[in-house]
Structure 1
Amino acid sequence: MRIPRFPGWTWLVVASLACAGLQAGPPAPQSLILATTTSTQDSGLLDELIPRFEKATGYRVKTIAVGSGQALAMGRRGEADVLLVHSPEAEQALMKEGSGVNRRLVMHNDFILLGPATDPAHVRGKAAAAALQAVAAGHAVFISRGDNSGTHAQEKKLWAAAGVKAEGQAWYQQTGLGMGQTLAVAAEKRAYTLSDRGTYLAMRKKLGLQILSEGDAALLNVYHVIEVNPTRHPRVNARGARAFADFLVSKDVQTTIKEFGIGTFGSPLFFPDAGKPE
């Protein structure tokens, strides 16, 4: 019998495996990096969806929950494969520069202005701009995420619409944190803040904050899924990104999104939008 010409140490390993009757196992599952917002994480939605995706496809998802601005920056640098974000103007800039492909609607909920039950600035029931004007006029403490997230971007637009320059004011404080942590800070300080509805409902029992302004068209909060452009970043997992995006807009998952939160909170945390016109 001819002995294969392996290097000495390699032959010892091969021989040992053969004697032990061992064979190479199945390949490790492919990993997929999802950059998304803290609201999808803090609301519990991803805990519902990602295990289903992993079971159905064999991918293993690494979720990085940051502000939309940071998630988009990761996509721009090729550090994520797929993005689930809610900052439409910043998303459009990403698409225009060619860093993302196949941007699709997934769902929406809305932003809400929260504050203590005592409502010292008397904002209850006012439209968003008028409510923020009242906060500023009363020098009431307002807690901002200050993290370039989709929520922070929307908040800055609302301040501009209200004609108020909040940054630099003593009553205006920024956390630099995600939505759940910012809500905790606002609750501790009995302050006002802007939140997406899903995260608030998921944490409501711990907070002691109330919804004081809602329903304004300016408070709409829309989520899209974007695949990172593999032409610009050849090392991204383009196939996995497409599989995850397709999963989010599939009929079954859209039904799950429609029903998510009803049993626990009495109302859905998000509303499905796949296939609808922008």
Structure 2
Amino acid sequence: MPTPLTPPPHERAEAFRSLHRPGRPFVLPNAWDLASAAALAQAGFPAIGTTSLGVASAAGRPDASGCTRSETLALAQGMARLDAPVTVDVESGFGGGESGAAGLAAHLASLGIAGVNIEDGRGGAALAPADEQCALIRAMKGAAPALFVNARIDTYWLSRHLFRPGSGAERASATLERARAYRDAGADGVFVPGLEDTAVMADLAERVGLPLNVLAPRSPGGIAPLAQAGVARVSTGSLLFRAALHSAVRTAVDTAGGRGADGGQAASGIPGYDDVESLATLYRDADG
């Protein structure tokens, strides 16, 4: 028999929602499998997300193509056994329109998942019509009212395809318009990957009134400027997955170069076999 969720699903959802405090952002690390999720939970992060790029790439599939529904749901089922609340990246909903989105939300909520991230990018270079995306958000909230629906806005992520160079004001205006529409459709938060301008962040946080989520900054300064702009959540996105690939290759190169398993920078701090094996206790009963 599966072990009971601790704490119960509704408490996890509320705990996740309470983490979103504008001006006091928390860092959401994004896992791509059960081991990475369990390791991040063990490290003490208050909530764990998934990365669609990591999930898709690990399965040998393209990201944002809607073909990793089964892999995503299997991972969600396992991660729901962790003590930390979990939010799942569902790309653009994996198809099926409003009924598909509603069914997906209801299923994830029944597993004990606290939130989802749903994007309005389509086909790698286009945005869904705002009213179409609003319909998906309404369907999700109608099917799972407690689920934290984070509406991802790809106006900056896909900006090189959508806007002329130097059209910053146009892009910011389009982002604000979509954020307000998604808020009115029932979204609990908005996520704008690719946005680095803290002035635009501050304007969105103030004028939309929902928790604002951005990616971890690439520039120096860390999270402090984001906090000053009113950001509530900072996601690592695919960064951890990409860093893991880099470290794996670096360790292999170091080993081949004669520096051995304990040599080279990449090998520093690597957990032992027993350490990794012990992570299984955090999700051993994931499949019942």
Taking structure 2 as the reference length, the TM-score comes to: 0.25
Larger Rg: 1
Structure of greater relative contact order (alpha carbons < 8 Å, 6+ residues apart): 1
User: Normalised by the size of structure 1, how large is the TM-score?
Assistant: 0.26
